[in-house]
Chains A and B, each alone.
Chain A
Amino acid sequence: MAYGIRLKIWGDHACFTRPEMKVERVSYDVITPSAARGILEAIHWKPAIRWVVDTLHVLEPIRFQSIRRNEVGGKAPAGKIKSAMKRGDLADLQLLVDEDRQQRASTVLVKPAYIIEAHFELTDRAGPEDNEGKHLDIFNRRAKNGQCFHQPCLGTREFAASFELIPPGTPLPQAIAESRDLGFMLWDIDHQAKDRPALFFRAVMENGVVKVPQPTSPEIRR
């Protein structure tokens, strides 16, 4: 963990959707390691590195709110796009929201704030010019200046995340004084695996801190 970083993130709402309740979305109680990884990647990522989340600190009480929205049911079918490309005519390429409407409720978190403790590892795509110090510097510089590749979000894109680097050496803000068994929680998605890409772990929050198992740990279940 020599090359660790600590990032504080917060926002008005968040929705880290539970995979078992994704139609009418229900958020997990706390941010998932995969969402945390996505936030770090929004600030700095290259194929040469892989972010690994170590610890999540929950800084605000866990509270929920319900929001119901009109959403569309369909996705853009690739076949139709292809035939429109061939025809050179867009006439029948559209999605009619009134005819394909679904009303869905989301149970989202209110005013979440977290600290992500993470580090990165070099992957086998790292070239001779890649070294830990370089990527660590880039990340720290960007996070300090508020720079990002795209604005990170708390689960879904309508819930933007604000972020702030906690420089090495400074103490962390106090996490909430609450312990809770969070049950099985998504660890990350293995995009290499064809059949069962979702990885889970048993998340336990102790005094507001969730320890995240490392990639090859036996605690991660498929």
Chain B
Amino acid sequence: MAIFSVYAVNKSGGFIYQYDNYVHRAEAEKTFRYPLDCVLKIHDEKVVVSFGQRDGIRVGNALLSINGLDVNGKFTADGKEIIEYLKDSTNYPLSILFGRARLSSNEKLMPASMFHSLFAIGSQLSPEVGSTGIEMLETDMFKRHCFQTLTGIKLIVLTDPRQSGIDELLRKIYEIYSDFALKNPFYSLAMPIRFELFDQIFKGAFEIPALSANFGPGS
């Protein structure tokens, strides 16, 4: 299935729901000897590769774990600065896992709200009268589809660029939202959705054969 994530944003740009449907791929683990033969730097409280791309390790990848222990920002699991730790030749040989940095929940929330503004700007800058906001945004690696309901809620789906059947999926997500969030008496409007039943039904929707049939295999 090539649907990566689903986001929902309320009419004032607040974050309501987020769901990831992909596994982290393209992670590379490698054993290094002293001295380390790629250049690392600290970016956004993370250690990332700034130069030296090979063996599946790419520039921009973050350092995720050392000797199987997950790192904590720019510190090792036991609290040492990673950059200092890697300078010490007595720690070698060691095995390091590189991969794409995982988004924290705060980092997921920000682009959702940012897209809300982009959507509005898109409709304002339109040369044609009566234009909607951004409905689809395409890149090499994914497409971002957005459906805004009449009440102003935005449902956003990130998919593979070749994915079809998105309109049906967005419609289905809207139905699930209206059924399992709004009919829950303990859900307060426009607040984040944190209900187990909703999560279950939502995940179930990705397993419906009629939908997943035309969604094709993940790339």
Partners in one complex: no
Interface residues of A (CB under 8 A from B): none
